[in-house]
């Protein structure tokens, strides 16, 4: 590298770590943002035309540059340098953002900047500086602390979704981590998931005492609280001796697969078990013939990529190194660019169901537009979340889809709520329900 080139440069070396608890680790990334707005536009190769041009909900709804990643990077940089203080606007800029990762993959199409981690780190900084999270988040944190779930519902009701048909085994190789939403709100997703596993001839067990995954805590910058949950949950999972943790929730999937390792400073592969989403499991079981999705479902359907299952889901590896000449790092860093997100299994599953006419929205996969609810946004900025969902629903209407399918209960909740408010005739389903309904009843 630099040293071997025949033009020599002196360059001091800065140590850094991909550790979101210290914003200093990301000053380099913030300082190198070039305002190309690749984080906001749909990637130009896939640009669908003069409609649906953007993929950043924050920049699309609020429009001022401050809300795009380029604005957030400039504001964050000024804060890290001590040139700018938090105010109400700054909190809105940082929190009216779904941490959807569109900016991160957009930026990493061309550059090596850690935009997603920087955004997470800025929220941790808000908490460290005593201004974050938002009041609505504090309420949720209290719910989670007291009742171990997002909603503040009774902990004893967590297994209320279980039916006679869907009883877990006492011991199994698969632990189904249900998550707060499917435990309390969209219980049909939990039931469908259980049925799918059973239909494939497998058993599943539950964690002996399942608690919230802590997604919202982590996402709003409550790092220590999230870390405590990560420690507790990973420990509980390890104790089961099961080899696989399966989620039907995209947010939970990302927590277990990416953010728990991040919080625990270990690699995903060192968790001691594998984390999979239902679509990966079902895709595999359909391929090996254990599941047969033969019952027809006549509909014009579209699939919404839940961010945490798609572009945010690549495994985590801790990194510590030095940055030197031209910003090159040593040792080498394998950047998470979103290329290996879970994009194809859900599509393959849906396409395989007779009668399903799967049509893509103009923005798909890594270019998808977030539903607007994720990662603490909806609770603190409900109007923003609603507008973002409506923006996405316009796309659903544009392609004339009757059924909108997502692979995350939070997306389903949010889309259902907004379509309900609008009186839209769009059917919103989770992929677990669709798979379950298509299972060959005779099998």
Q: Using CB under 6 A, list all residues that contact ligand SF4.
A: 33-39, 56-59, 69-70, 72-73, 97-103, 106-107, 111, 113, 115, 119
Check binding of 82 to other proteins (CB under 8 A): no
Contact (Cβ atoms closer than 8 angstroms) between residue 134 and residue 126: no
Q: How many CB atoms lie within 10 A of CB 240?
A: 18
Give the span between the Cα atoms of 416 and 378, in whole angstroms.
14
The interface partner of residue 53, options being other proteins, ligand SF4, none and the CB cut-off 5 to 8 Å by kind, is other proteins
The interface partner of residue 435, options being other proteins, ligand SF4, none and the CB cut-off 5 to 8 Å by kind, is none
Check binding of 71 to other proteins (CB under 8 A): yes
| Cis amide linkage into residue 331, ω under 30° from 0 | yes
Stretch that binds other proteins, among 15-23, 105-113, 114-122, 403-411 (CB under 8 A): 105-113
Interface residue with other proteins, options 31, 187, 294, 427 (CB under 8 A): 31
Q: State whether residue 349 is helix, strand or coil.
A: helix
List the beta bridge partners of residue 429.
405
Stretch that binds other proteins, among 265-273, 327-335, 370-378, 402-410 (CB under 8 A): 327-335
Check binding of 337 to other proteins (CB under 8 A): yes
**Closest by Cα among 63, 91, 89, 85 to 377:** 91
Give the span between the Cα atoms of 262 and 269, in whole angstroms.
12
Q: At closest approach, how far in Å is the CB of 31 from ligand SF4?
A: 11
Check binding of 288 to other proteins (CB under 8 A): no
Give the span between the Cα atoms of 271 and 440, in whole angstroms.
35
Q: At closest approach, how far in Å is the CB of 22 from other proteins?
A: 19
Interface residue with other proteins, options 236, 328, 426, 437 (CB under 8 A): 328
Residue 383: C-alpha distances to residues 58, 216, 283 (Å): 12, 18, 36
Helix (H) or strand (E) holding 377: helix 377-380
Q: At closest approach, how far in Å is the CB of 372 from ligand SF4?
A: 9
Under DSSP, the state recorded for 41 is B
Residue closer to other proteins by CB (options 240, 310) is 310
Check binding of 335 to other proteins (CB under 8 A): yes
Q: Write out the DSSP string of 274-330.
A: EEEEHHHHHHHHHHTTS----S---EEEEEE--TTTTTT-SPP---EEEE-GGG-EE
Interface residue with other proteins, options 17, 19, 22, 109 (CB under 8 A): 109
48-67 in b/e form (b: 16+ CB < 10 A) is beeebebbbbbbbbbeebbb
Give the span between the Cα atoms of 165 and 192, in whole angstroms.
11
The interface partner of residue 179, options being ligand SF4, other proteins, none and the CB cut-off 5 to 8 Å by kind, is none
Q: At closest approach, how far in Å is the CB of 57 from ligand SF4?
A: 5
Residue closer to other proteins by CB (options 262, 365) is 365
Check binding of 2 to other proteins (CB under 8 A): yes
Interface residue with other proteins, options 25, 26, 56, 77 (CB under 8 A): 77
Check binding of 116 to other proteins (CB under 8 A): no
Q: At closest approach, how far in Å is the CB of 115 from ligand SF4?
A: 5
Q: At closest approach, how far in Å is the CB of 328 from ligand SF4?
A: 18
Q: Write out the DSSP string of 95-134.
A: HSS---SHHHHHHHTT----HHHHHHHHHHHHHHTT--S-
The interface partner of residue 44, options being ligand SF4, other proteins, none and the CB cut-off 5 to 8 Å by kind, is other proteins
The interface partner of residue 246, options being other proteins, ligand SF4, none and the CB cut-off 5 to 8 Å by kind, is none
Q: At closest approach, how far in Å is the CB of 44 from ligand SF4?
A: 12
Residue closer to ligand SF4 by CB (options 281, 384) is 384
**Closest by Cα among 283, 427, 398, 305 to 350:** 283
Residue closer to other proteins by CB (options 399, 443) is 399
Question: Residue 145: is it exposed, middle or buried by C-beta count within 10 angstroms (0-12/13-18/19+)?
Answer: middle
Check binding of 67 to other proteins (CB under 8 A): yes
Q: Name the residues that contact other proteins, by CB under 8 A.
A: 1-2, 4-7, 9, 11, 31-38, 41, 43-50, 53, 63-68, 70-75, 77-78, 84, 87, 89-90, 93, 105-106, 108-112, 325-330, 332-333, 335, 337-339, 341, 343, 365-367
């Amino acid at each position: 590298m630099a040293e071997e080139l025949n033009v020599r440069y002196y360059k001091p070396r800065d140590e850094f770590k991909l550790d979101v608890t210290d914003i200093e680790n990301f000053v380099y990334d913030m300082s190198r943002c070039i305002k190309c707005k690749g984080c906001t536009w749909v990637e130009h190769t896939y640009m669908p035309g003069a409609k649906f041009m953007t993929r950043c909900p924050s920049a699309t709804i609020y429009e001022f540059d401050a809300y795009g990643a380029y604005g957030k990077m400039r504001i964050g940089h000024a804060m890290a340098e001590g040139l700018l203080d938090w105010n109400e606007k700054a909190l809105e800029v940082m929190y009216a953002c779904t941490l959807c990762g569109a900016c991160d993959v957009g930026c990493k199409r061309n550059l090596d900047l850690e935009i997603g981690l920087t955004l997470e780190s800025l929220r941790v900084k808000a908490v460290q500086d005593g201004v974050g999270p938002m009041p609505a988040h504090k309420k949720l944190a209290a719910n989670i602390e007291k009742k171990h779930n997002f909603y503040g519902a009774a902990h004893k009701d967590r297994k209320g979704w279980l039916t006679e048909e869907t009883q877990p085994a006492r011991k199994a190789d698969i632990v189904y981590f249900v998550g707060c939403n499917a435990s309390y709100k969209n219980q049909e997703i939990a039931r469908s998931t259980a049925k799918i596993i059973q239909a494939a001839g497998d058993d599943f067990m539950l964690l002996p005492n399942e608690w919230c995954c802590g997604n919202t805590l982590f996402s709003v910058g409550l790092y220590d609280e999230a870390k405590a949950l990560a420690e507790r949950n990973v420990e509980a999972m390890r104790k089961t001796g099961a080899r696989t943790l399966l989620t039907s929730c995209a947010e939970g999937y990302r927590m277990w697969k990416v953010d728990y390792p991040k919080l625990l400073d270990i690699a995903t592969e060192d968790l001691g078990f594998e984390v999979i989403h239902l679509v990966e499991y079902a895709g595999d079981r359909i391929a090996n013939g254990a599941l047969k999705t033969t019952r027809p479902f006549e509909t014009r359907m579209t699939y919404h990529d839940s961010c945490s299952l798609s572009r945010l889901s690549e495994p985590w590896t801790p990194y510590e190194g030095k940055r030197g000449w031209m910003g090159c790092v040593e040792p080498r860093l394998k950047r998470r660019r979103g290329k290996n997100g879970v994009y194809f299994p859900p599509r393959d599953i849906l396409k395989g169901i007779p009668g399903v006419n799967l049509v893509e929205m103009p923005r798909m996969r890594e270019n998808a537009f977030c539903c607007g609810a994720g990662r603490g946004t909806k609770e603190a900025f409900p109007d923003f979340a609603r507008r973002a969902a409506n923006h996405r629903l316009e796309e659903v209407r544009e392609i004339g889809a009757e059924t909108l399918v997502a692979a995350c209960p939070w997306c389903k909740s949010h889309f259902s709520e907004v379509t309900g408010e609008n009186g839209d005739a769009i059917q919103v389903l989770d992929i677990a329900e669709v798979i379950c309904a298509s299972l060959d009843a005779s099998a």
